[in-house]
Structure 1
Amino acid sequence: MARWEPGAQERLQQAAFALFVERGYDKVTVAEIADRAGLTKRSFFNYFADKREILFADAHLFEAGIVKHLTDADPSLEPIDAAVAALTHGGRQLSVYGEGGRTRRDLIDSSTELQERNLAKLTSLTAEITAALCMRNVPARDASFIARVAVAAFITAYDDWLNDLTVDFATLMQNSMADLRRAIGANP
């Protein structure tokens, strides 16, 4: 494969996923990923800051989509409902990854380094949702609490979806919120 061919970022991602699955995340180097993709190590760093970012390359787009959906939500929606609707929209977008989502989850679960990066991305998402809720005139403390709860419900629903790809993500988000309300003794 020629080094100048288009699609270098996708080739790097495919090569990395294949190597991570074959040998485990911790046993794969950036040089090996680049070589498998038919590129140089230097080319790798044109697309990714480090090998962890392979698994989080589009996180900023996911986050931006959720914030846009939240910003555009009906102003009459309760803040928690608006945040849940935005995260449901985001979850539906992720559902196109199917089995790849499971592989990604398993890779993240296998590495403390990836778990830390995942937590950093979730913290960023929570902060962006908090800011968007504040723009909807939700007091900052309430916005932060709502964002954290909504993200927790999303994480649970997404994990449930990865365990059964046939279930509609919106249903899983509703179930997650109902379970949360039941767990704290609130009426659904």
Structure 2
Amino acid sequence: MPRWEPSAEDRLREAALALFLARGYENVTVADITDAAGLTRRTFSRYFADKRDVLFAGSDRLPQVISKAVAEADASLGPAQALLAGLAGTAATLAANVPRSPERRRVVAGSAELRERERTKFAAVSDSLTEALLARGATETAARMLAEVGIAVFRAAFARWTEEPDGADFPVYIHEAAAELTTALAPVAERD
């Protein structure tokens, strides 16, 4: 076998995802993945720390990507509008660069371990968004609440987008989820 395998990372991802979907995440080992991809454990270790990393590799960049999109939103936008613009921009980037999102989401949903890893990822996103919103003039309390609401909107939109692969573009679902939330909160605002 040659020292370098062309598209080894992609082959490992595809093999892992197919196995996770067929057997469940917990029932697949790194050896199963490397065997299915026709590669070695050493090759696997070049790209991934463990089998979870196959699904989450690169997710450590998400907090920075989202907060940068919020920070770079039009300067005339307030914090909430900048958050929505940043989420929509990030959604477009993810849609273009993260293949097989519906399948990945199904695997994560089926594993308590992976759901916990997902929560940890979004906790980091929340912290990063809070900082970006503070920089845009939000108060500490507003920044924290907006960050959490933004994550809820993003996750709801992601779920819809992955459930309807032939539906609208991911950013459209961001705007729809935000509009739905605004409508749901309208009665609360009217009570005052």
**Which TM-score applies when normalising by structure 1?**
0.88
- Give the corresponding residue for 1:148: 148
- CA deviation vs aligned residue, 1:98-130 (integer Å, no higher than 9, x gap): 982211111111110111111111111111111
CA distance in 2, matches of 1:2, 1:23: 30
Corresponding residue for residue 171 of structure 1 = 172
Q: Please state whether the residue corresponding to 1:185 is helix, strand or coil.
A: helix
- The whole-number CA distance in structure 2 between the counterparts of 1:184 and 1:50 is 42
Question: What does 1:75-86 align with in structure 2 at a 5 Å threshold?
Answer: 75-86=75-86
| CA RMSD after TM alignment | 2.1
User: Is it true that 1:135 corresponds to 2:135 in the alignment?
Assistant: yes
Which residue of structure 2 aligns with residue 181 of structure 1? 182
Q: How does 1:115-126 map to 2 (within 5 A)?
A: 115-126=115-126
> Secondary structure of 2:100's match?
helix
2:8 — aligned with what? 8
Query: Measured at CA, do residues 99 and 133 of structure 1 come closer, stay the same or move farther in structure 2, by a change above 3 Å?
Result: closer
Show structure 1 runs of 4+ deviating over 4 A. Answer: none
In 1, Cα distance between equivalents of 2:64 and 2:97: 18
Kindly indicate whether the alpha-carbon contact (under 8 Å) linking 2:78 and 2:136 is maintained by their aligned counterparts in 1.
no
For each residue in 1:2-49, what CA deviation from the matched residue of structure 2 results, as whole angstroms up to 9, or x when unmatched? 452233322221121121122221110012212222332233223222
Letter in 1 for 2:60: H
SS at match of 1:49: coil
CA contact (8 A) 2:79 2:137 kept: no
8 A Cα contact 1:3 1:39, kept in partner: no
**Per-residue deviation, 1:70:** 1.4
Matches within 5 A, 1:80-95: 80-95=80-95
The CA distance in 1 between the partners of 2:98 and 2:135, in whole Å, is: 34
Query: Is the contact made by 2:25 and 2:111 (CA closer than 8 Å) also made in structure 1?
Result: yes
Q: Which amino acid aligns with 2:136?
A: R
CA contact (8 A) 2:80 2:146 kept: yes
User: Unpaired segments of 5 or more residues in structure 1?
Assistant: none
Q: Distance in 2 between matches of 1:134 and 1:98?
A: 29
The answer (yes or no) to whether the contact 1:98–1:162 under 8 Å persists in 2 is no
Tell me, in whole angstroms, the C-alpha distance in 1 between the residues paired with 2:143 and 2:76: 16
Q: Which amino acid aligns with 2:12?
A: L
The aligned residue for residue 45 of structure 2 is 45
Alpha-carbon separation, structure 2, partners of 1:10 and 1:77: 39
Partner of 1:32: 32
In structure 2, the gaps of 5 or more residues are none
The 1:137–1:78 alpha-carbon spacing in structure 2 relative to 1, beyond 3 Å, is closer
